[in-house]
Amino acid sequence: MRVISRIAGLLVLLALLMLLIRGDLLSRSPLVILGQVVGVLLPVWARTSFHAGQFRVVAAPSGGPLLTHGPYRYIRHPMYAGALLLLWSTVFGHWSLTNAALAVTATAATAVRIRDEERALREHFPRYADYCQRTKRLVPYVF
């Protein structure tokens, strides 16, 4: 995985940390809280789909099979989708230009990371192109 992809992952974590430090992570809005809860539960569900020893923090294919069950049946990147849902829910709950800039930066960084990860997955799994035809990247049936 390229260094820029690692930096991209750190930018997402940094954006969430900055929202926490600014006191903008928690909300009283039920809609924001729902988005945040789903944003946390989606990656947890995705994590439970991995076989023992298959999960890695770095975006690189492991020796296991291509995941196509659990949330991976509907979207290719449920962990990134969850992180972005958590982030954008938080930003909409505490709107400011600073928070929006953090979210835009993290979203762009996630796009870079997804591009690098998909390149590696296409090289590693011959069936990945077919899987991409059946599933969307981040939002089921949309994108």
Position 62 in a domain: yes
Tell me how many domains the chain contains.
1
Position 119 in a domain: yes
7-59 per-position pLDDT tens digit: 888 888 899 899 999 999 889 999 999 999 999 999 999 999 887 656 666 66
- pLDDT value at position 12? 87
> Which residues make beta-bridge pairs with 136?
75
- pLDDT value at position 53? 59
Burial class (CB in 10 A: 0-12, 13-18, 19+), 31: exposed
The mean pLDDT of 108-119, rounded to a whole number, is 92
Whether residue 62 is predicted with pLDDT greater than 80 in this model: the reply is: no
Whether residue 142 is predicted with pLDDT greater than 60 in this model: the reply is: yes
Position 95 in a domain: yes
Q: What are phi and psi of 75, to 5 degrees?
A: -140, 150
Position 30 in a domain: yes
**Enclosing domain of residue 24:** 3-134
- pLDDT value at position 134? 95
- 75 by DSSP, 3-state: which? strand
69-112 per-position pLDDT tens digit: 999 999 999 999 999 999 999 999 999 999 999 999 999 999 99
- pLDDT value at position 141? 85
- pLDDT value at position 103? 95
- pLDDT value at position 51? 72
Position 140 in a domain: no
The mean pLDDT of 107-118, rounded to a whole number, is 93
Position 106 in a domain: yes
Contact (CB, 8 A) for 61 and 121: yes
Position 142 in a domain: no
- pLDDT value at position 143? 87
Contact (CB, 8 A) for 9 and 79: no
